[in-house]
Amino acid sequence: MADQTPVFQIQRVYLKEASLEQPNSPAILLEQEQPSVDIQLGLEAQPAADGVFEVGVTVTVHTKIKDRTVFLVEAKQAGIFEIRNLPEDQLGPILGIACPQIVYPYLRGNVADLIQRAGFPPVHLAEINFQAMYEQQQAQQAADGAGSLTQ
């Protein structure tokens, strides 16, 4: 009989993608006005092999003065996780909460470093409560599902 012991292992955490643009440099660097900062966060999980999943956290940091871009950073930090012999109802929370909590600190550090190396004060991404984010997403999906049944 095959071993049914639950398995959760980090295989690798890596920076999958990173880009930085400063389309209005050097003129924008002489501006005295404080830029506005817009931060967008994304999360994705997909199977990579049998019992192996890639979980990626993406961020876009867009800073502007008026309607002109100071800098735009897009980055994706990913992890490969071996997840086996878990009840099906536990897989979603593992992929949506536990894995992003492991990957996100690496993303925060890489983004701050990239921005600082570009000559700007580092932008420190806020801590994220992935459990609350996951629960909100599940509630939204349930509401969307319930709404489509009543129409």
Domain that holds residue 38: 7-149
What is the C-alpha end-to-end distance of the chain, expressed in Å?
A: 48
Answer yes or no: is 113 within a domain. yes
Mean pLDDT of 63-80: 96
Answer yes or no: is 134 within a domain. yes
Whole-prediction pTM: 0.87
Query: At 5, is the pLDDT very low, low, confident or very high (cuts 50, 70, 90)?
Result: very high
Answer yes or no: is 1 within a domain. no
The total domain count for the chain is 1
Q: The sheet that has 7-21: what strands, in order across it?
A: 7-21, 68-84, 52-65, 36-49
Answer yes or no: is 119 within a domain. yes
**Does the structure show a pLDDT above 90 at 64?**
yes
| CATH number assigned to the domain comprising residue 16 | 3.10.420.10
pLDDT tens per residue across span 13-40: 999 999 999 999 999 888 889 999 999 9
Mean pLDDT of 44-58: 96
Query: At 146, is the pLDDT very low, low, confident or very high (cuts 50, 70, 90)?
Result: low
Answer yes or no: is 12 within a domain. yes
